[in-house]
Amino acid sequence: MVSMKQYRLNSVAVSGAALLPQVLEKIFSTLVYVPDGQSKEGRSRALKNVRRHAASLMVKIGNKYPLLLLPVFDQIRATVENLSRPEGSANLSTLEKVTLLEALLLISNHFGDYERQSTFAGEILHEANAQFLAIVNSGALKGAAEFISFIGLNKPAVPANTDNICGQNRSNLFFCVNLVLGAIKRCSWPDDPERATRGGFVVSLTESGNPVCRNPAAPHVVPLLPHILSLIKIFNELFTPEAQNLIHDSYKGCLAMPETEKSNLLGLIGHSSDCGDNLVIQSPLERMQRFLTTLHESCYHMIGSMGPSLGRDLYNISDLALAITNSVLAYLQYVPDYRLRPIIRVFMKSFVFSCPAPYYEVVLLPVLAHISPILLNRLHGNWQRVIEFRNREVQEDNADTQEVLEDFLTRALTREYLDVLKVALVGGSLTPESNSETMETEELSNSPTPPPTRSNLTSEVISDLGLILLRCDKTCQSIVLAVLGGLSWIDSNASLKATLLTGPIVRQLTIDASLNGEMATHIMAAVLNALILHGQHEANQGSLLTLGAQIYELLRPSFIEVLRVMQQIPGVNPVDLQKLDERISGSTSKGNRIEKVKKDLFKKITGNLIGKSVGQLFKKEVKINNLPQIIINKKEQKDIVPDLRTLYNSS
C-alpha cells in the first residue's frame, strides 16, 4: 500500500514536470498578448488585467511550488530578462516587470546557499539601485521643493502620450521603489534551522539560543534606507503650506483622498458597469494622484516589511530611532488622517512587533515617546469633532459627506492605533491585513466584534516592552489616556479593543504604585461612561462589567475617590456599595463564586447607567385584557370493558 501511494505521488510529480514547459509557455504568451490597435500607452482595462494576472501567476507558482520551478530556473530567468529589455517587443509595464522579478526572487529562496542567493538578489536589484542613486545624486530627494520639480508638480499638466522628462522621472522612481519593496518581501532565509545553518544564513544565536539569520537582500537594501526615509519625509512635507504653494494649479488636489479610497471607507464599492473593453483614459490630475498615492503606500509597505524580513540587520543600524523620528514621523501635524493611517497600520504595527527585545529601549522607546503624544492629541481632537457633528446631525437631521467621512476615518484610526498598543503592551500577532498591498478598509460597522472571553480579561499581562512603556514618563500618560479615551468613546469596536488593555494596564500601574487619586477617578469614570455608551451591546456589557468589578477591586483599597465616583450613580443603593466593599475587603466566599458575586453586585449598582439598544427603547408590551373565556365541551366517556373471550379467540 505504501509503495502504491509513493508511486502515485511520483507519477503526479512526473506529470507536473512534463506539463511545466507548456504551462510556462502559455503564461508568457498571455503576458505579452497585445490585440491589434492597442499600444502600451492606451491599453484597455481588460488587457491590463489579463497581463497582470499572468505575471501574478508566476509569483503564485513561485510561492507555492518553488521546487517545481527550481530545475528550470535558468530558462525562466533568461525568458524574463528577454521580455524585460526596453527595446523588446513585449512592452512590459513597470509593475509587470517588477512582478516577474519577484517570482525569480521567490524561486531563489530555495538555492540553499546564502552567497549564491545574495549575489542573485544583487543582480536583480542592480538596475534599480543604480537608478535610485542617480535620483539621489540629482538632488531630487533633498526636500519637498526639489521633489516637486523632479516629478513635475510645479509645471502645467502634460497629456498622457507626451514624452517629457518628468514623466520618465516618475516612472524610474516608481520602478525603483517597487522593486526594492519586492526584494524585501520576497527574499528570505530557509525555514529549516539545519538548512539555514548549512547554507550560511545563521550568524549568531539569540539570548534564548535561537538562531539569528541574515536576509540575502539586506546588503543591497540597507544602504538605500537613508534615501528611502528621505523620500518618506518628503511625502509628509508635501502637506505643509509652503509645499502646497509650489504645486501648479493644474495639479491642485492631487494629494487629496482618492475617490476609490473614500468609497472603500464608506462601503460604497459596487460592481462596475464597465465591461473592461474600453480604453483606460485618465486625466493628468488623476494620473498624478494615482502615482503619488501608490508610491506613498509602497514606501510604507517597504519599511513595514523591513522589520519582519531584515530582522536585526535593520534594528542594529546606528541611530535608527532618530532616523525614524526625523523622517517617517516628521511633519505629522500637517499629515491628514487618511495618510496617517499607513504610518500606524502598515509601518508601526510590524515595526513594534518585529523588534527584538535587546532593542526595546534603544529603538522603540524613543519612537513611541515621540508619536504617542501626537496621536493622543490628534485622536482627542477628532473624537470631540465627531461627537459635535453627531449631536448637530441629530438636531438638524442633516449629515454632510465630509463629516461622515471624518467619522469613519476616526473610527478606523482609533481601532488601528489600539491594535498597535495591544502589540506593544501585551503582545499580539501580525494579521494578514497589515501586510496587504492595499489599504482596503475592513467594514466599519457599529456592531461589536465577538466578545473576549472572561479568562482573556484576567489572564492578559503586560509584556516586557509594555513594562518599559508604562514605567517611562514620556510614554505612560499618553498611552494610558489614549486607551481610556478609546474605552469611553462612541465606537463600540474601539471600546471593546480598549477593554482588553485597560485591565492589564491598571493592574500593572497599581503594582508599581504609579497612580494617584485623580487618575483613579478618571479610570473609574471612563469605565462607567463606557457602560453608558455601550452597555446596550451584549458583547460590550459583559466585558465592561467584568472590567469594572476588577478596576473597583484594584483601586478601592487605596483610593477613596473611586467610591465617590460610584456614589454619583443615579439611584445607587448605599447598602449595595457597602456589600461590594465588604466582598473586596474580606470575603467569606472563595474562588469563582466570589468573582461572580462581585460582578453581579457591580451590575446591580450600575444598572441605571446601562442603556438599552434602539430596538428595545420603544418596545411596547403586548397586553390583551378581558379575553372571553373559552368553554370546552367535555365529551362523555363511557367505561368500556373488553370481552376477554374475544381477545383470546382472536389470538
pLDDT digits (tens, 9 = 90+) for 585-630: 765 444 445 578 888 888 898 888 886 555 554 556 556 666 667 6
Average pLDDT over residues 397-418: 86
Q: What is the grid cell recorded at 68?
A: 517545481
- 175-206 as b/e: b if 16+ CB within 10 A: bbbbbbbbbbbbbbbbeeeeebeebbbbeeee
Cα–Cα distances in angstroms (integers) from residue 447 to residues 412, 483, 614, 619, in the given order: 14, 20, 13, 20
Which one-letter amino acid corresponds to residue 112? G
Q: pLDDT confidence of 11, banded at 50, 70, 90? A: very low
CB-based contact 478:472 (threshold 8 Å) = no
Distance from the Cα of residue 358 to its chain's centroid: 25
Q: Nearest-CA neighbor of 350 among 306, 391, 381, 312?
A: 306
Average pLDDT over residues 412-440: 74
112-126, 378-392, 427-441: which has the minimum mean pLDDT? Answer: 427-441
Q: Nearest-CA neighbor of 341 among 307, 382, 312, 310?
A: 382
- Taking the C-alpha atoms of residue 204 and residue 312, their distance in angstroms, rounded to an integer, is 11
Fill in the DSSP letter of residue 495: H
Of 164-178, 198-212, 251-265, 367-381, give the range with the top mean pLDDT. Answer: 367-381
Say if residue 484's pLDDT is above 60: yes
- Taking the C-alpha atoms of residue 451 and residue 500, their distance in angstroms, rounded to an integer, is 10
Average pLDDT over residues 134-155: 94
Average pLDDT over residues 197-208: 86
- Taking the C-alpha atoms of residue 210 and residue 87, their distance in angstroms, rounded to an integer, is 49
CA atoms lying within 13 Å on the CB side of residue 215: 24
Q: Nearest-CA neighbor of 344 among 259, 289, 256, 409?
A: 409
Please name the residue that has the C-alpha cell 523632479.
Answer: 150
Name the more confident of 52 and 9.
Answer: 52
- Helix or strand (DSSP H, E) at 202: strand 202-205
Using one digit for the tens of pLDDT, what is the confidence trace for 213-270?
999 999 999 999 999 999 999 999 999 999 999 999 999 989 999 988 888 888 776 5
- 3-state SS of 240-301 is CHHHHHHCCHHHCCCCCCCHHHHHHHHCCCCCCCCCCCCECCCCHHHHHHHHHHHHHHHHHH
List Cβ neighbours of 18 (8 Å cut-off, separation of 6 or more): none
Given this model, what pLDDT does residue 143 score?
Answer: 94
- 490-514 as b/e: b if 16+ CB within 10 A: bbbbbbbbbbbbbbbbbbbbbeeee
Say if residue 574's pLDDT is above 60: yes
For the chain, the residue count is: 651
Long-range contacts of 197-203 (CB under 8 A, 24+ apart): 198/112, 199/111, 199/112, 199/113, 199/114, 200/113, 200/114, 200/115, 201/114
Percent of the chain's residues with pLDDT above 70: 81
Helix (H, G, I), strand (E, B) or coil at 204: strand
Using one digit for the tens of pLDDT, what is the confidence trace for 123-144?
999 999 999 999 999 999 999 9
Mean pLDDT of the chain: 84
- Taking the C-alpha atoms of residue 283 and residue 297, their distance in angstroms, rounded to an integer, is 21
Given this model, what pLDDT does residue 520 score?
Answer: 94
Say if residue 570's pLDDT is above 50: yes
Q: Nearest-CA neighbor of 92 among 46, 130, 54?
A: 54
CB-based contact 350:434 (threshold 8 Å) = yes
CB-based contact 419:428 (threshold 8 Å) = yes
- Taking the C-alpha atoms of residue 335 and residue 345, their distance in angstroms, rounded to an integer, is 15
185-194, 360-369, 370-379, 623-632: which has the minimum mean pLDDT? Answer: 623-632
Given this model, what pLDDT does residue 490 score?
Answer: 92
Fill in the DSSP letter of residue 426: T
Q: Is the dihedral of CA 85, 89, 91, 92 positive or negative?
A: negative
